[in-house]
Amino acid sequence: MDHLRVRPAGPLSGTVELQGAKNSALKLMAATLLTSGRSILERVPEITDVAIMGEVLESIGATVSREPSGALAIDTPEVLVPVAPYELVEQMRASFVVLGPLLARHGSARVSLPGGDDFGSRPIDIHLRGLTELGVEFTTEHGYVEGRCDGLVGTRIVLEFPSHTATDNLLMAACLAKGTTVIENAAREPEVLDLATFLGEMGARISGAGTSRLEIEGVSELSPARHETLPDRVEAATFLAAVGLTGGELYLPDARVEQMDMLLEKLAAMGMTIDPSPAGVRASSSGRLSAVDVATLPYPGVATDYKPLLVTMLSVASGVAIVSENVFAGRFRYVDELRRMGADIRTEGHHAVVRGVERLSGAPVRAPDIRAGAALVLAGLVAEGETLVGAVEHIDRGYEDFVGKLARLGADIERVVEHAPGRAPL
């Protein structure tokens, strides 16, 4: 498949217009299944994961297309086919969130057990347990989860962990449940708030969005709506990390700084100059970074998606840092690739000890997942010689025009295309 060729080119400088948040857009797309008619989603990135979710929705009976303006139009019929097939769901874990909307609207759903990025087990029990409390009966066989109910009934659900996707699934299902549903220990991510805002625009009655306690008063039906996806905070973090590594200055006019407080604090502690404002964030860096300890936590803590970027920054920082992964097991699988580039990193369980080196060395590496793939590209920006990043289909899943945006900032990067059949992004 294609690979990216990266060489060091000095400091980066410029402005990046952020794409819509991948982790929000996919759930917004699933939410359109809750009603019939045409919904319009603006600022949805043209990435592979959106294309996959579009195929999932079309397999269920919807029609998904891009308007001339770039907005995503989703037409959902009165009658759906409540089955999400293996060949699509296994490619992307987030597609499992069609389960809640299908059960709420049709009373039945058959959804393949999910796949997605390879960084450890992420069990779906928390989804099924919450939906069971809403009145669903499940069976699991032949790689599929099948759920049935005579109608969802509101209840109080306490999540054992503030799972982002489980919160999304239960939130969507509860909108059409009879009575009131309360979700305790709900995820607080900005993307959950974005989903709740869209659902409210569709006619849902939700309070507490953005807090750990959601209260949803069920309604009999929802209506199509138009909504603009919030900017992608992980893409913002990626370009901030790039400038932190190479030096230079970056302006992100759309960044929601209030959604990245802990990240910006860490970057400032590492030696970057961060200038936040209501209009966005300006950041600059010069000289070598300093090591800081990092621990991932559910929002508002340091997001696990930020960690590969921070580990790459720490690999060339002055000093020693301890990085702890508290969200997903197995999310250090990219470390071996950084070691191939000369990084001094030792891992044990959920922890990594990163001893900064003066400079990395270019090497052939392979992207194991979306964010780790982006981090390896950034490592190539400060590695002597040439870095070839393979398996870039992972990067395509989450970043729109990643190579172009870096090149416009001054990076020496190109995509080496190997012709093969592929999926055109929506």
For the stretch 265-301, pLDDT in tens is 999 999 999 999 999 999 999 999 999 999 999 999 9
pLDDT tens track for 247-269? 999 999 999 999 999 999 999 99
Return the pLDDT at 113.
Answer: 83
* Mean pLDDT within 110-138: 80
Q: Which CATH number fits domain 3-19+231-416: 3.30.1450.10, 3.65.10.10, 3.10.129.10, 3.20.20.70?
A: 3.65.10.10
Measured CA to CA, the distance from residue 58 to residue 64 in angstroms comes to: 7
pLDDT tens track for 179-218? 999 999 999 999 999 999 999 999 999 999 999 999 999 9
> How do strand 83-84 and strand 108-112 relate by DSSP bridges?
parallel
CA distances from 28 to 73, 287, 347, 396 (A): 12, 41, 37, 20
Is the bond preceding 85 in cis, omega lying within 30 degrees of 0? Answer: no
Measured CA to CA, the distance from residue 367 to residue 393 in angstroms comes to: 9
Return the pLDDT at 421.
Answer: 54
Count of Cβ atoms closer than 10 Å to residue 139 Cβ: 10
For residues 192-207, one letter each, b for 16 or more C-beta atoms within 10 angstroms of the residue's C-beta and e for the rest, the string is: bbbbbbbbbebbbebe
Residue intervals in the chain for CATH 3.65.10.10 = 3-19+231-416, 22-221
Is residue 6 a contact partner of residue 387, using CB atoms and an 8 Å limit?
A: yes
> How do strand 37-42 and strand 226-228 relate by DSSP bridges?
parallel
Measured CA to CA, the distance from residue 221 to residue 250 in angstroms comes to: 45
- The pTM of this model reads 0.95
**Side-chain-side CA neighbours of residue 137 (13 Å):** 3
Q: What is the mean pLDDT of the chain?
A: 94
Angle between helices 370-380 and 307-314 (to 10 degrees): 20
Virtual CA dihedral for 141, 145, 151, 155, nearest 10 degrees?
110
Is pLDDT of 384 > 70? yes
Return the pLDDT at 118.
Answer: 44
Return the pLDDT at 120.
Answer: 45
* Mean pLDDT within 5-18: 98
Q: Which CATH number fits domain 22-221: 1.20.272.10, 3.40.50.720, 3.65.10.10, 3.40.190.10?
A: 3.65.10.10
Q: Which residue has the higher pLDDT, 74 or 86?
A: 74
* Mean pLDDT within 54-61: 97
Q: Which amino acid is at 361?
A: S
Return the pLDDT at 172.
Answer: 98
pLDDT tens track for 80-109? 999 998 888 888 878 899 999 999 999 999
Return the pLDDT at 419.
Answer: 66
3-state helix, strand, coil split of the chain in percent (to 5) is 35, 25, 40
* Mean pLDDT within 307-322: 98
Query: What are the φ/ψ torsions at residue 321 (nearest 5 degrees)?
Result: -125, 150
Q: Can you name the residues that pair with 66 across neighbouring β-strands?
A: 72
